[in-house]
Amino acid sequence: MTISPSITSPERRPIALRLAGLLPWLFAVVVVGYAMVVGGYAATVVSFALIYAVFVTGLNLFMGFAAQVSFGQNAFAAIGGYGSAVLTATYGWSPLPAMVIGIAAAVMAAAIVGFPTLRLKGHYLAMGTLAIGLITYEITVEWQSLTQGYLGISGIPPFGIGAYEVTSDRGQLVMLSLVVAACAFAAARIRRSRFGRALSAVAGSEEAATALGIDVSRYKLMAFLLSAGFAALAGSLFVHVVGYVSPEVFGLHMVIVTFTMLYVGGIGTVAGPLVGALIVSLLPETFRAFKDYQDLAYGAALILLLIYAPRGLASLFAPRGRS
């Protein structure tokens, strides 16, 4: 009997799937490489996309891996960002220790608010986390003696270690690429770890996970803390790259944009946050030539993506979400 050549053999199928899973990463390498060569405005746009990729990677740990909902991760980005800004611009700290303190403060705040908030479920959890973001935003506006309110904080030094500072657009792009690669590697390791498998069980059914002996509340809180740490890191990176911070940076717009990035890229996948951040950041630039129809073209493109790739672009190359 002759076997049809159109059927992929079991020996070849895993190799084909692994190669397909590399396509999202190849896309990211090409985009970053192009921005590195061109420099200037392209490097700036891609740099912001990479900062968002760090934030969305953390959001994906909580929403994608654990299947929870949070509309308040911008609060922890604000804590990390303002922590770095105040300590460096006002008190003369070096960027690296200021960043560490900002991340630690965000994780501590997440532990304080997460313990009672994560007892909620469904839309109650969504509303509770949204309130966290709104409260933090109001604090950054009203605490003018510390944050300067709407005037913001300027004069924030660029990121660096010791006497070395990353000031060029290409240098910042290299630094951010290394940070994103480290975050993606960490997310991949977390997913394959015992902790990641426990989060998958929680995502499938909290009741079944409890029956298996998994402390659901503990694992949800740990995922929330990790997500807050990633958000704070993104906030700190932003202020050091831009050199300025104001409350609007961490407002509701950040929540909407990062949710879009997560779902366009592929929720629950490792490559999804990076792909989504690049796509959503580049689409407005792609449709800029349409002028008056830019927003219409941008919205139509997002709708088409969500219709024909409901699990995100990264999932197209990994049917089981292993990208």
Residuewise pLDDT in 10s, the chain (323 residues): 444 444 444 444 566 666 667 888 999 999 999 999 988 889 999 999 999 999 999 999 999 999 999 999 999 999 999 999 999 999 989 999 999 999 999 999 999 998 888 888 878 888 889 999 999 999 999 999 999 999 999 999 998 776 778 888 888 999 999 999 999 999 999 999 999 999 999 998 888 988 888 889 999 999 999 999 999 999 999 999 999 999 999 998 899 899 989 998 989 899 999 999 999 998 887 777 666 676 677 777 778 877 887 777 877 766 544 45
158 class by beta-carbon count within 10 Å (0-12 exposed, 13-18 middle, 19+ buried): middle
Residue 8 pLDDT: 45
How many other CB atoms sit within 10 Å of the CB of residue 213?
Answer: 7
Residue 296 pLDDT: 77
Residue 306 pLDDT: 76
How many other CB atoms sit within 10 Å of the CB of residue 171?
Answer: 16
DSSP assigned state of 214: -
Residue 151 pLDDT: 92
Residue 18 pLDDT: 65
Angle between helical axes of 216-242 and 169-192 (0-180°, round to 10): 170
The CA distance from 307 to 14, in Å, is 28
Residue 19 pLDDT: 65
Nearest one of 208, 293, 231, 220 to 67, comparing CA atoms: 220
Residue 7 pLDDT: 42
For residue 161, list its beta bridge partners. 164
Residue 305 pLDDT: 79
Residue 6 pLDDT: 44
Dihedral sign of CA atoms 38, 41, 44, 48 in order? negative
Residue 246 pLDDT: 93
Residue 9 pLDDT: 43
The CA distance from 296 to 308, in Å, is 18
The CA distance from 260 to 7, in Å, is 37
Residue 16 pLDDT: 60
pTM here?
A: 0.88
Contacts by 237-240 with C-beta closer than 8 Å and gap 24+? 237/51, 237/54, 237/159, 237/176, 237/179, 238/48, 238/51, 238/77, 238/81, 239/81, 239/82, 239/84, 239/85, 239/153, 239/156, 240/84, 240/88, 240/95, 240/99, 240/156, 240/157, 240/158, 240/159
The CA distance from 201 to 213, in Å, is 11
